Amino acid sequence: MSALLEIKQLHAGIPDKPILNGLSLSINPGEVHAIMGPNGSGKSTLSYVLSGKSGYEINGGSMLFDGQELAEMTPEARAIAGLFLAFQYPLEIPGVTNMTFLKTSLNAIRRGRGEDEMDAASFLRLARAKSKALGMDDDMLRRQLNVGFSGGEKKRNEILQMAMLEPKLAILDETDSGLDIDALKTVAEGVNALRSPERGMLVITHYQRLLDFIKPDVVHVMAKGQIVKSGGPELALELEKSGYAEYSGGTEAPAGGREAHA
Amino acid sequence: MSEAKAIIESEAKASIDKDTVEQVAQFGGEHYKYGFTTDVDMDRVENGLSEDIIRFISAKKDEPQWLLDWRLDAYERWLTMEEPEWAHVDYPKIDYQDLCYYAAPKSMEDGPKSLDEVDPELLKTYEKLGIPLIEQEMLAGVRKVAVDAVFDSVSVGTTFRDELAKEGVIFCSFSEAVKEHPDLVQKYLGSVVPKSDNYFTALNSAVFSDGSFVYIPPGVRCPMELSTYFRINEANTGQFERTLVIADKGSYVSYLEGCTAPMRDENQLHAAVVELVALEDAEIKYSTVQNWYPGDADGKGGIYNFVTKRGDCREDRARISWTQVETGSAVTWKYPSCILRGDGSSGEFYSIAISNNLQQVDSGTKMIHLGKNTSSKIISKGISAGRSSNCYRGQVSVHPKAADARNFTQCDSLLIGDKCAAHTVPYIEAKNLSAVLEHEATTSKISDDQLFFCQQRGLDAEEAVALIVNGFCRDVLQNLPMEFAVEAQKLVGISLEGSVG
Ligand SMILES: Nc1ncnc2c1ncn2[C@@H]1O[C@H](COP(=O)(O)OP(=O)(O)OP(=O)(O)O)[C@@H](O)[C@H]1O
Ligand SMILES: [Mg+2]
């Protein structure tokens, strides 16, 4: 089986500051991987480098998505190829309604794939159904994109976009932070609904409780820009108990907010 | 004299992230899709301005003596005036003797009776511009739009005249109005914008060639949108049109003007005058989509757009609303204004002004509160990209007798890249203590993060900019007649093409 995402010895960072130091990771279709790791270990950087945010330099290694080298693609081409990033900090676009944004995005991706744009009626039906499934009312669709949204609403909105775009690989960057327990369940249901044998997910989180709802196949520990340990779901439980002390030399706070040198 | 006057000038230069700056690419003239020229035999007078030229234009149009005298008086005054220099624009001195003041297609000489007789080349021009000059059967649900098409110095034709005439609405070229409705023209011409109001109005009053005339009788709600499309085609000519709209008591009209010109390496002058008169309880909505050729990426060519537009709410409870989408021209100098004379009258100004490359815009409005209980609202959205300069200049003045005047001004600037500039120059003058005047201003820029967010959702950089800018302009776009809002949205995207890489 060929991997959906194959990262090999990736070195990347901002000018004069290496952040990812020879990171390797492989995700097969149908798998859900979780990445945990201390603050500043490079988790968001990995998500940005994969999705093509400007400002980062790639200094070595490769990242193949569906056999294509991501580094050679524009950010929009990566999105069109089926890579989706749910942002840790979703952006606001004043004056653009959620609905308009979703429609522009969906149609840009369809056009990019050589498909016809979706007609207005079908789009409306789809958007309503998906937002309802995520417990969002129609009012949210009419509001300006993320403007005045609460932290949790913004995160939920990211999942709505993911549900609309049905990507091949979804990277969720701390989608659980800021969610109350009910929202966490709904969001997890949204994510689980997308699980399929063709799709892959990379879930970045600090908390084991998300993984109670979204069962990962593989859990990775990231520290100082590398994957330092990988294992099954039990690894997340271990981390919850003992923190990252053994990986980061005790300088970082552990998950769950406990002291490293308890 | 007690006068409270506040002049605030705020300048903002974008400090955008380095990467966007690197992405800023130049946009060549090829994006301007109206840049073609029409090849027809033209009747053009020799270059230069003199009493003889004015007599020639007047004779060409078979004008009555009073109008010739009016023109000559304007010319006398113009000779004593100086070109204004206070605007935040910079352009080489214009040689007024090196311009052509009258150019018209030869085929228009015999005065075609109807559109069927108009030279097909001319009709094709408007077809290419997407302007219907045929009274087509409209699809169900789509409102009709009557069009007056002005080509260089003459009106080519006006549609739906008969249908409008049934309601008593007069919609025709200015030249025809002079012939067929001389009383109305003589009564209102220059009554809002005096001949010698400024340098360019004096020039226009002396040499104006054509334009549109609208009269809506008392109590009539004009049954369709009225619109005029101005096209400059000839090289080295100026276009000096004149528009006069009169809404009689209790009437309503919505009017739209559009402007395009071929791409040429030399600059061309457009100095128009628009006068609106709204009588008791009447309402005029005037929308402009100005897309004159802006010049190329290096600032070569383009139209100098020096326009005076003013509306007079002459009687009680009259309402005038200006909406403008300004994307074209090399230099724009334009301040659509409202004189709120009648008690309870109101004026509105909604503006989107986009400048890219080396375009310069100095635009805004004046709201002059004279009557009691008058109100005005100003929503201005300025977008600067490239190395352009974009200045909002607005004046709100409240006369001593204008009790309980209200104004709300919202003035937002958006910057794309770090080589452009935005300026805001509001003048506020309140001579009556009961006035309530509010002014809000913001300056923002498109962030790299916003662009990346959109790109991650499949939009390319240009689509992303167009989406974000359209969002920024939403309050104004919503005010355009539905027929033109979609067009305007696209135009916003097109005029910013190349502003990011
Ligand atoms: N554009 C940037 N400029 C300066 N430093 C940066 C930039 N991007 C990332 N860094 C630095 O790189 C390191 C990794 O940051 P990153 O956001 O990837 O961490 P993270 O693992 O996602 O942390 P958290 O758990 O807090 O979200 C941090 O030290 C951060 O300050
Ligand atoms: Mg992070």
Q: Among all residues of chain B, which has the CA nearest to that of A147?
A: B471
Q: Rounded to whole angstroms, how far apart are CA atoms B426 and B9?
A: 7
Residue B152 has pLDDT above 80, yes or no: no
Q: Which of A45, A51, A54, A74 to mutate to test the interface with B (most CBs of B within 10 A)?
A: A54
Residue B111 has a pLDDT of 61
> Please, are residues B318 and B345 in contact by the beta-carbon 8 Å criterion?
yes
Residue B19 has a pLDDT of 30
Residue B16 has pLDDT above 80, yes or no: no
Residue A14 contacts B, CB cutoff 8 Å: no
Mean pLDDT of B452-476: 92
ipTM of the complex as predicted: 0.92
> Please, are residues B405 and B432 in contact by the beta-carbon 8 Å criterion?
yes
- Tell me the best of A21, A43, A53, A177 to mutate to test the pocket of ligand 1, counting ligand atoms within 8 Å of each CB and taking the most: A43
Both tokens assigned to B354: 């986009």
Q: State the closest ligand 1 atom to the C-alpha of A19, by its place in the atom list counted from 1.
A: 12
Q: Which residues line ligand 1 (CB under 6 A)?
A: A 14, 19, 37, 39-45, 55
Q: Which residues lie closer than 8 Å to B268 by C-beta, 6 or more apart?
A: B232, B235, B236, B237, B238, B239, B261, B302, B303, B304
Quote the DSSP letter at residue B237.
B
**Amino acid present at A189:** E
Q: Calculate the average pLDDT of chain B.
A: 82
Residue B375 has pLDDT above 90, yes or no: yes
Q: Which residue has the higher pLDDT, A138 or A35?
A: A35
Our CA-based measurement puts residue A48 at a distance from the nearest CA of chain B, in whole angstroms, of: 10
**Amino acid present at B119:** D
Q: Rounded to whole angstroms, how far apart are CA atoms B222 and B85?
A: 40
For the CA atoms of B82, B52, B208, B295, the dihedral, rounded to the nearest 10 degrees, stands at -70
In this complex, do B458 and A76 lie within 8 Å of one another by their Cβ atoms? yes
Q: Which residue has the higher pLDDT, A84 or B37?
A: A84
Q: Among all residues of chain A, which has the CA nearest to that of B446?
A: A93
Mean pLDDT of B296-308: 81
Residue A84 has a pLDDT of 97
At B419, is the secondary structure helix, strand, or coil?
Answer: coil
Residue B301 has a pLDDT of 77
pLDDT band for B17, please (50, 70, 90 cuts).
very low
pLDDT band for B313, please (50, 70, 90 cuts).
very high
Both tokens assigned to A85: 């990033």
- Tell me the best of A10, A20, A41 to mutate to test the pocket of ligand 1, counting ligand atoms within 8 Å of each CB and taking the most: A41
Q: Rounded to whole angstroms, how far apart are CA atoms B206 and B74?
A: 5
Residue B129 has a pLDDT of 64
CATH number of A5-248, picked from 3.30.565.10, 3.30.420.40, 3.40.50.300, 3.30.70.2340: 3.40.50.300
Q: Calculate the average pLDDT of chain A.
A: 89
The secondary structure element, H or E, covering residue B146 is strand B145-151
A144 strand-pairing partners: A97
A–B: how many Cβ contacts below 8 A?
81
Q: Which residues lie closer than 8 Å to B406 by C-beta, 6 or more apart?
A: B374, B375, B376, B435, B436, B437
Length of chain A: 262
Query: Where are the strands (E) in B266-405, listed by range?
Result: 267-270, 273-278, 283-290, 302-313, 319-326, 331-334, 337-340, 346-355, 360-369, 375-384, 389-398
Residues B209-249: pLDDT tens digits?
Answer: 888 899 999 999 998 888 888 776 666 677 888 999 999 99
At A16, is the secondary structure helix, strand, or coil?
Answer: coil
- Per mean pLDDT, which range of A79-93, B354-368, B427-441 is the poorest? B354-368
Both tokens assigned to B416: 């794309």
Mean pLDDT of B384-390: 85
Q: Which residues lie closer than 8 Å to B31 by C-beta, 6 or more apart?
A: B494, B497, B498
**Nearest alpha carbon, ligand 1 atom 16:** A42
At B421, is the secondary structure helix, strand, or coil?
Answer: strand
> Please, are residues B71 and B54 in contact by the beta-carbon 8 Å criterion?
yes
Residue B102 has a pLDDT of 81
B323 strand-pairing partners: B287, B350
Picking from B449, B452, B463, the nearest residue to A75 by CB comes out as B452
Q: Which residue has the higher pLDDT, A172 or B302?
A: A172
Cα B62 to its chain centre, rounded Å, is: 28
Residue A72 has a pLDDT of 94
**Nearest alpha carbon, ligand 1 atom 1:** A14
Smallest Cα–Cα separation from B168: which of B116, B276, B278, B246? Answer: B246
pLDDT band for B15, please (50, 70, 90 cuts).
very low
> Please, are residues B161 and B171 in contact by the beta-carbon 8 Å criterion?
yes
Our CA-based measurement puts residue B448 at a distance from the nearest CA of chain A, in whole angstroms, of: 8
Residue B430 has a pLDDT of 93
**Amino acid present at B179:** K
**Longest Cα–Cα distance in chain A:** 59
Residue B339 has a pLDDT of 97
- Tell me the best of A10, A14, A35, A54 to mutate to test the pocket of ligand 1, counting ligand atoms within 8 Å of each CB and taking the most: A14
Residues A41-70: pLDDT tens digits?
Answer: 999 999 999 999 999 999 999 999 999 999
Q: Is A95 left (phi over 0), alpha (psi -120 to 50) or beta?
A: left
Q: Which residue has the higher pLDDT, A67 or B41?
A: A67
Mean pLDDT of A213-224: 93
Smallest Cα–Cα separation from B263: which of B44, B24, B28? Answer: B28
Mean pLDDT of B36-46: 72
Whose structure tokens read 């603050």? A39
Residue B10 has pLDDT above 70, yes or no: no
Residue B218: exposure state from Cβ atoms within 10 A (0-12, 13-18, ≥19): middle
Mean pLDDT of A179-188: 87
Residue B422 has a pLDDT of 85
Mean pLDDT of A59-82: 95
Q: Rounded to whole angstroms, how far apart are CA atoms B466 and B449?
A: 15
Residue A248 has a pLDDT of 62
Those of residues 75-114 in A touching chain B at CB distance below 8 A are: 75-76, 78-80, 84-85, 87, 90-91, 93-96, 100-101, 104-106, 108-109, 112
pLDDT band for B191, please (50, 70, 90 cuts).
very high
At B418, is the secondary structure helix, strand, or coil?
Answer: coil
Residue B246 has a pLDDT of 98
Q: Rounded to whole angstroms, how far apart are CA atoms A203 and B469?
A: 33
pLDDT band for A28, please (50, 70, 90 cuts).
very high
Mean pLDDT of B441-447: 89
Length of chain B: 501
At A150, is the secondary structure helix, strand, or coil?
Answer: coil
> Which ligand has its closest atom nearest to the C-alpha of A20?
1
Cα four-point dihedral sign A163, A164, A166, A171 = negative
Whose structure tokens read 């073609």? B36
pLDDT band for B452, please (50, 70, 90 cuts).
very high
Residue B23 has a pLDDT of 31
Residues B43-84: pLDDT tens digits?
Answer: 777 888 899 989 988 998 889 999 999 999 999 999 999 888
SS3 annotation, A43-95: HHHHHHHHHCCCCCEEEEEEEEECCEEHHHCCHHHHHHHCEEEECCCCCCEEE
> Please, are residues B400 and B430 in contact by the beta-carbon 8 Å criterion?
no
- Per mean pLDDT, which range of B197-201, B294-298, B333-337, B348-352 is the poorest? B294-298
The secondary structure element, H or E, covering residue B55 is helix B51-60
Other CB atoms within 10 Å distance of the CB of residue B217: 16
Whose structure tokens read 């005005």? B376
- Per mean pLDDT, which range of B10-19, B50-59, B167-176, B332-341 is the poorest? B10-19
At B20, is the secondary structure helix, strand, or coil?
Answer: helix
Smallest Cα–Cα separation from B228: which of B250, B207, B256? Answer: B256
Residue A198 has a pLDDT of 92
Q: Rounded to whole angstroms, how far apart are CA atoms B58 and B81?
A: 23
pLDDT band for A104, please (50, 70, 90 cuts).
very high
Residue B481 has pLDDT above 50, yes or no: yes
Cα B342 to middle of ligand 2, angstroms: 61
Residue B285 has pLDDT above 90, yes or no: yes
**Amino acid present at B390:** N
Phi, psi torsion values for B345, nearest 5 degrees: -80, 160
Residue A24 has pLDDT above 70, yes or no: yes
